[in-house]
Amino acid sequence: MGLFEIRNPKSAIRNQLYSLFMKFAGLVLKSTLRNKRRTILTVLGLGASLFLLVTLHTVLYELQATTITAESDLRLITRHAVSIANWLPLAYKEQIRQIPGVKDVMTSHWFGGIYIDERNFFAQFADDADKLFKFYSEWRIDPAQREAFERERTAAVAGVRLFKRFGWKIGDRITLKGTFFPFDAELKLVGSFTSPNLPDEAVLVFHYDYLNEMIVKTMRTRDVAGFYVIQAESLQAVPRIAQAVDGKFRNSTAPTKTETEKAFQLTFSSMLGNVKLFIGAISAVVVFTILLVTAATMAMTIRERTAEVAILKTLGYTSGLVFTLLLAEALSIAMLGGLLGCGGAKLLYSTVDLQQLTGGWIIQLRVQPEGLALGMVLAAVIGTAASAVPAFRACRMPIAEALRHVG
Amino acid sequence: MNKALIEVDHVEKVFRRDSNEVRALDGISLEVAEGDFLALMGPSGSGKSTLLNLVAGIDRPTGGRLRVLDVEPARMSESQLARWRNEHIGFVFQTFNLIPVLTAFENVELPLLLTRLARAERQRRVQTALRLVGLEDRAEHYPRQLSGGEEQRVAIARAFVADPTLLLADEPTGDLDAHSAEEVLEIFARLNRELGKTVLLVTHDARAARHAGRVLHLDKGVLVDQPEK
């Protein structure tokens, strides 16, 4: 005698999968939220560690990030072979220009002054004003402002981010207090520019002629350049130019080192090599420790429910299904932590003005898709690794033995 | 006599703990016919729960032959046993064993999630089962919001909601007061009487005898009463 009429309606595989998901989603969700405090703490712990991981990945990326424009591939930098702090004679400029494949050469000098307060750090260069926007053609500036910059000896242009950061307006006069130069640069802001490479928008440039004039006035030297920017005629000419320039000055009192702009930028991040390793190691240990603690908590949650596994099996649930349900619970928690950490990093770094927050030391932190993918994959691995073994053990345990775990 | 649903033929069960050997069942033989309400009584450690576990296929005998519903559970794989239990066996524990995060409705629905029944049909069955145990108004209550007797009635609803042939109960009144125990035993009696369910109830509660059609006594792994062969 039957209580109910049995019906087994046939349905498409997709409908069956959907219905399977819908049937057990509630069970998984309720089990996940069984101990809300523990679940929240686990999600927060995972989220915090993955946030750190994504941040670390992003910082390392930014340290190695270089100019991304096509124009930069044609630019080379010639500096003193010993150190960037050693200057080069101005006479090199004309000699470099004579080398086959060189389209033009621009003098450049790092100024490194203080604007009002030391915390207001930003990059300052003194360049050949008439060549700046020819060399950096990817920088966009109003033609009238560009003309004003090239015309006035004490004029300066700056990226839009600097204007925004300090609330500057065109026509403002600013003073950059000299640090390793024994004079201040008194400048008039005549233009602002944009660039596809965002760090460039936090740069200020003024006339090399003005800097050189002040050097001559105040120091026992003259006609020196910090480094030269070379514009090559073609990509093929780039390696030949580098070789020719360095060969030309090899036996001089000021030997040079010429490299692509990209390689030049990377030398700055390579100077941080040991710091990077140190930060990386500390962060990895912190992240790994938090992950272990989180994994232990998730494993404990499953072990506590060994008897429940036995009950489900008594009702007819196969070990495979129970294992899948336990894994789904752990993965839900882990992926939630992953979303919190990775999404939080993405959201935070795309909305917070890091330049303002860090006094200009960090212009931007662009969270990379690979960083997000790494975080989410790690979340899935933690969820699986933390739950697979205890879930497997609980499911394999004979029902009669597992039932004895009931209080 | 109706067709035998359970055939126990010289079944033995020996537990080994380190070097110790405990003989829980010692060559026991009995038959339970379709539609029977059998109470298996005996003191603690007599082997009655072990026998129930063997019948339900949640443990395997170490000797003898056990057939339940024309199959030998001991010869089935774990996954075959799981499906077989879902279709044919309803099991009630002493300690209710409801899932604490699920409502009474959801607990009763658990065995039906394994079937292909549509949601509406599942709901209809769960409501019917809860009505049969007198708890239709407690469907949305969580186990912690129910009394012990109510919890056990939910557990009974969960056991028969998938319409199994055989209902097995291991000390179902062990954790209940006299009134609740009486209610639970009456439900088993109704399921047997009105729906024809075969019930095998393990207990040392003498009241169970009043509801069961047949009572057998076990002691130290052997049947004190002679099996009807």
ipTM of the complex as predicted: 0.92
Q: Which residue has the higher pLDDT, B138 or A84?
A: B138
Which chain B residue has its CA at the smallest distance from A21's CA?
Answer: B113
Q: Which residue has the higher pLDDT, A268 or B30?
A: B30
Q: Which range among A51-60, A238-247, B79-88, B109-118 shows the weakest confidence by mean pLDDT?
A: A51-60
Residue with structure tokens 């004579």?
A: A98
- Would the CB atoms of A316 and B118 count as touching at under 8 Å? no
Residues 6+ apart with CB under 8 A from B43: B204, B219
Facing residue for A400 by CB, picked from B59, B115, B162: B59
Which chain A residue has its CA at the smallest distance from B158's CA?
Answer: A315
CATH superfamily, domain at B35-57+77-222: P-loop containing nucleotide triphosphate hydrolases (3.40.50.300)
Which chain B residue has its CA at the smallest distance from A404's CA?
Answer: B95
Facing residue for B113 by CB, picked from A16, A23, A307: A23
Angle, nearest 10°, between helix axes A36-64 and A261-271?
130
- Would the CB atoms of A319 and B121 count as touching at under 8 Å? no
- Would the CB atoms of A9 and B118 count as touching at under 8 Å? yes
Q: Tell me how far apart the 2 most distant CA atoms of chain A are, in Å.
A: 112
Q: Which residue has the higher pLDDT, B87 or A263?
A: B87
Tokens of A276: 């990077």
- Cα separation of A43 and A294, whole Å? 8
Tokens of B148: 């012990």
Q: Burial, A145: exposed, middle or buried (Cβ in 10 Å; 0-12, 13-18, 19+)?
A: middle
Q: Does B97 touch chain A (CB under 8 A)?
A: yes
- Would the CB atoms of B113 and A27 count as touching at under 8 Å? yes
Count of CB contacts below 8 A, A vs B? 93
Contact B219, B42 (CB under 8 A): yes
Q: Burial, A392: exposed, middle or buried (Cβ in 10 Å; 0-12, 13-18, 19+)?
A: middle
Backbone dihedral angles phi then psi of residue B7, each to the nearest 5 degrees:
-125, 115
Cα of A20 vs its chain's centroid, Å: 41
Q: Does B226 touch chain A (CB under 8 A)?
A: no
Cα of B120 vs its chain's centroid, Å: 27
What number of other Cβ atoms are within 10 A of residue A191's Cβ? 22
Per-residue model confidence as pLDDT tens for chain A (407 residues): 445 544 454 556 666 667 677 788 988 999 888 889 999 999 998 899 899 889 888 887 877 666 556 677 889 999 999 988 889 999 999 999 999 999 999 999 999 899 998 888 889 999 999 999 999 998 999 999 999 999 999 999 999 989 988 999 999 999 999 888 899 999 999 999 999 887 788 899 999 999 999 998 888 777 889 999 999 999 899 999 999 999 999 989 899 999 988 888 777 666 666 667 777 787 778 777 877 887 788 788 888 888 899 999 999 999 999 999 999 999 999 999 999 999 999 999 998 887 777 766 677 788 999 999 999 998 998 888 888 888 998 898 888 888 876 43
| Confidence grade of residue B62 (pLDDT, cut at 50, 70, 90) | very high
Closest chain A C-alpha to B64 CA, distance in angstroms: 19
- Would the CB atoms of A316 and B128 count as touching at under 8 Å? no
Q: Which of residues 128-187 of B touch A (CB under 8 A)?
A: 128, 158, 160, 162-163
Return the residue in A6, A13, A315 with the most chain B beta carbons within 10 A, the one to mutate for interface testing. Answer: A315
